[in-house]
Every structure is written in structure tokens, then in C-alpha cells.
Amino acid sequence: MPRAWGPSDPVPGSSPDAGAWRRALGQRIRRARQAAGLTQEALSEQVGVHPGYLSQIERGMRTPSTLVLARLAEACGCSLQELLGAPPHTGATAPAGGITRAEEVREEGPPAEAPDYPEARRLADELQRLVAGRPAAHIRLLLQIARAVFQHLDRLGR
């Protein structure tokens, strides 16, 4: 499947050539589609987009929304992280309905290196309110996106 991001790979917002990032994304989507044994027509039907739009995405001419990316990943049987080119998440994840990291932080207290703990706690509470009542699939998608973003930021040293 797609390889992990490297330091020289184009990333949205960090490269003057956003087209290079779109082309790399399109290539990963095409490889995932082919690995799943799907035609553009079959995948576009499963995802709910026009075959011409999918073709433009694969050629790096269009940038899909996060919802379309999530649907593409699901239909191709891969993770959103793989489509984005991020390495797979290696940390433990909470089981559905299990304890969240926000709850763990509340129980453990602030980490030693978290001088802005009150702000982080307020934001974690806000996030918990935001996802309350949402379907598990939506929360899973949000977690996949957040993990990919955090992993990328970690690699950038931010």
C-alpha cells in the first residue's frame, strides 16, 4: 500500500506546489482503487461521485473533500491515513464506548510538559460536547483525520 510521508514529500499548505500534493494523493487513491480491484466507474458509484470527478481526483486536478476521502478509503478497504500517505497509527486506541483520552487526562491530571493544561482541558471538553450523540462512524472519521494531522505535525516538529 502507499508508503509513509517523507520529509521531502509535498504536504498541503507547506509546499508552493499544491498541485504536487494533489497528484500524489491522486496516485495513492488510484493505487488503492486498483488494489481493491475496482474500476473508476464502480468506485465512483460506491462513493456517490461522478466518474469524471473521480478521474480528475486521480489525475491530481481536483482535491476531494474529507467526506469523499473517507468514502474512498472505506470503499477501497484502506484507512484514511493510507490515502493521505501518513504512517499507520501505532498507539493504542480506545474501544468503541471505551474511555477517551480526554477522560484519561482528567483522571491523570496534566502532563508535566503541558503549561496550557486549563486551555487544553477546556478544548477537550468542547470536543467531547461536539461529538456527543454523533454516530460512531463520524467519530472514527474525525479520529482518523486528527491522527493523520498530529502525526504530520509531529514529523514537522510543531
Residue 78 and residue 123 in one domain: no
Q: What CATH number does residue 72 fall under?
A: 1.10.260.40
pLDDT band at 67 (very low <50, low <70, confident <90, very high): confident
Q: Could you tell me the pLDDT band of residue 106, with boundaries at 50, 70 and 90? A: very low
Please determine, for residue 3, whether its predicted confidence score (pLDDT) is greater than 70.
no
Query: In the predicted model, is pLDDT for residue 10 greater than 50?
Result: no
Could you report how far apart the first and last alpha carbons of the chain are, in Å? 27
Q: Tell whether 138 is covered by a domain.
A: yes
Strands (E), 7-149: none
HSE-CB at 104 with a 13 A cutoff on CA atoms is 8
Domain count, the chain: 2
In this structure, is residue 7 part of a structural domain? Answer: no
Q: Domain residues for 147?
A: 101-156
